[in-house]
Structure 1
């Protein structure tokens, strides 16, 4: 194998490892929360910040992480993100107070915000449009699904076997492997783009605005939608994000170029990601609750029950890899969204207190997961269509932000829906009624996403990504090794 092929393979390995790591850490801690509370003496309200600190830092800084990769080079951002994530994981595993653990989780979120956009951006830079990129995007989607599923299962197993600290320390060897892989990719440090400046004002506005938006959403479980804290937080977020748009329209090198969303594929990808994540993230949450509090599964058993979901996502991703060229991203997204909605409707129809695994969990899981898996390849393809190499980080950060905000929004809304249906009831039948209502809304969100994809992506040929020519790359500051770059340009 020559150096060019070896570098490309290692680049893909690193991109997949990063995606796996970020997804893993979004789920692995949840199962360990009761042990964390007992071990460090958290109050019930304080325990929420073990999750929220990560979500706020991650969601608020995604746009900045993606743009920094464009401006100062993917190698620098990748290395810095991995080092910060690894050190924060080690610090969290050794934490002796609630404040120390929350701070470590926030630092992990900052590292993840640097890593998540870089993974997709590297695939867009290193793989040519067509079957090679589709295969890479399919694997990228599988890595995320595997990370989420392994996180749920590993969280229970590690906590039972070695205590809650293990769910933080498990990240350290993964980070070390990714750092070794990054050194083998051929990625250069790259020079800072000549004449390019970070839009500091825009970065501050979008970070503060997105952070307040996610904060307002995640706190709706303790502060109702009509309360002063929620209305004030969401109102401030809207003002800051409006100011960010105004600054972007007047800045020569904005954090997010407004014209990027004028491209129908990019707009469609982000709208679809928002709706998909709104239903998907909430569905994962309620399926987990339903298995444990209604069907009586233990944490490890519930984690194992998610494994068929992972298998379905892998199958859907493989199917999408083969079908995207023939159907086009629009039709494939519509088909995947419709299938996922059908699976969620299956959850809603069978979410009963006396439900069994085969009918209530396995069957809808397989239908829903295949549909979700079919969406990853066309989402990645559409999100990077007609995007210049020097803006791949920007486009990737935007897509990841849409997913994070969509997930937070969907979860906040559907927790409220379920609570209203459940009321003060605590019997399994009462909880099942609340979960059923949430599943129906999840199905509606994904059903709405399907026609949106068809309307914005009506013709397959419009979503064929444009491979930049030599002049574009020369001016882009892309930091892929020349040998890898030559392979990506055919």
Structure 2
């Protein structure tokens, strides 16, 4: 192969990687960009306090519930086709959200965004692995991807604050439309078509219904616990129904010829354990950013624009680590050691901010913590993804990608719901204290719980994960 041909292939792969990462960035951004805009959206569209949560929850439920099905469809009909369909739907749904004039239309648009995001995101990791099969190249590519995944949440908070206070919350969604249209045009031209296994292999419609219903109900059960009208009996009943649906799905997958989720994939300890670590890592990361944004606004008194800008240290440090330093260190030391190191750094950040006082200083209690957190997850996330994807066969790349993305989104939903509920419960139990002190104590409890998630992830990584061999 001539030098010119090699350079053309490398450039083509790089452009394809950019297209994939732009889509992933839009997906992650959309999960958090509305966080600081929620009060304005509530005032404009007349949401109740309980109904307002569904601006985020409808997106998370659709996304987490459909990822496994989307990954399997990608294996059957080809990853490019499912990616293009997801990108087109996500872009159209963003337009619907931006033009929404009432609460019902916005929630419907957010649900459709979740569907489109699931279709596209489910196959992204598998496409990156196929683009960059060599370990060194893959480490660098995963560094770029992990920057979009890890920094997207912080960037979303920043953009949400800037957009809401300058041009209005509608543009938090409308900004996706031109970006999505351009990305779609480039994706059609740059992404190579990879033939799927064929629909004759079976899409397992009943299995898809069971797992989608089970995951969606499970996520719904978690996020609705924060609603004021939630009861223990209803929560337990919904949780039991979710478990029954998922158990029925597992039984079906063990019995049919062409399962949606080949259970053999879980025999690979590396993949199974790494995905559990991903759940814990994303639960801590997203829950931390959600509660920290509330601490900065409600306790320290920042407005939406200042809150967004306050998060700048996180994506800056994340970019430095995931795009430059971490890939080189991963090639030298291996992803397992880098994962453990990143988790340790993140744990330090969580323990640090858990001691923040009610009259805390940004310079001492928030800014440095966000920088340390950004560095930690900038190392940990690409390493965890490499370990999770390394155990899958090429024919299962879409399934492994969908499984890993399900772990990410389920972790984000679980972490946000659990930490927000813990913070609210702790604050309510200390209502006799000064209101700001009670709020601070609630967020402190949430940060310590997040530290527990990270500590558990570190224990699993140390005891059960091994370096991959190539």
Q: Could you say whether these structures have the same fold, taking a TM-score greater than 0.5 normalized by the shorter chain as the test? A: yes
State how 1:201-280 maps to structure 2 within 5 Å: 201-222=206-227, 227-280=232-285
1:450 match: 458
State how 1:279-318 maps to structure 2 within 5 Å: 279-317=284-322, 318=324
1:334 match: 340
Cα offset for 1:369? 1.9
1:352 aligns with 2:347: no
Q: Distance in 1 between matches of 2:447 and 2:140?
A: 31
SS in 2 for 1:184: helix
Q: Distance in 2 between matches of 1:413 and 1:98?
A: 25
State how 1:31-430 maps to structure 2 within 5 Å: 31-188=36-193, 190=195, 193=198, 195-222=200-227, 227-317=232-322, 318-349=324-355, 351-423=356-428, 424=431, 427-430=435-438
After TM superposition, the runs of 4+ consecutive aligned structure 1 residues lying more than 3 A away are: 189-192, 223-226
User: After the TM superposition, which of the residue ranges 396-405 and 193-202 deviates more from structure 2?
Assistant: 193-202
Contact 1:13 1:181 in 2 (8 A): no
Contact 1:330 1:456 in 2 (8 A): no
Cα offset for 1:293? 0.6
Uncovered stretches (5+) of structure 2, i.e. residues with no partner: none
Cα 1:448–1:192 shift into 2, 3 Å: closer
Aligned match for 1:24, one of 1, 23, 29: 29
Cα 1:49–1:373 shift into 2, 3 Å: same
Contact 2:151 2:314 in 1 (8 A): no
SS in 1 for 2:190: coil
Cα offset for 1:175? 0.5
Cα offset for 1:409? 2.1
1:435 match: 443
Q: Distance in 2 between matches of 1:213 and 1:316?
A: 34
Q: Distance in 2 between matches of 1:105 and 1:142?
A: 24
Cα offset for 1:326? 2.8
Contact 2:74 2:82 in 1 (8 A): yes
User: After the TM superposition, which of the residue ranges 309-318 and 200-209 deviates more from structure 2?
Assistant: 309-318
Cα offset for 1:192? 5.4
The CA deviation string for residues 451-487 of structure 1, in whole angstroms up to 9 with x for no partner, is 20122223x2xx136xxxxxxxxxxxxxxxxxxxxxx
The CA deviation string for residues 430-455 of structure 1, in whole angstroms up to 9 with x for no partner, is 11111111111111210111120122
Contact 1:10 1:182 in 2 (8 A): no
Contact 1:82 1:179 in 2 (8 A): yes
Contact 2:284 2:451 in 1 (8 A): yes
Contact 1:11 1:122 in 2 (8 A): no
Q: Distance in 1 between matches of 2:403 and 2:434?
A: 40
Contact 1:89 1:104 in 2 (8 A): yes
SS in 1 for 2:53: helix
CA RMSD in angstroms comes to 1.8
Cα offset for 1:292? 0.5
SS in 1 for 2:390: coil
Contact 1:59 1:211 in 2 (8 A): yes
Contact 2:75 2:196 in 1 (8 A): no
Cα offset for 1:224? 7.7
Q: Distance in 1 between matches of 2:98 and 2:176?
A: 10
Matched residues, number = 461
Q: Distance in 2 between matches of 1:14 and 1:252?
A: 35
The CA deviation string for residues 109-166 of structure 1, in whole angstroms up to 9 with x for no partner, is 0001112122211101110231100000000011223422222111122222222211
> TM-score with structure 2 length normalisation?
0.94
Contact 1:62 1:398 in 2 (8 A): yes
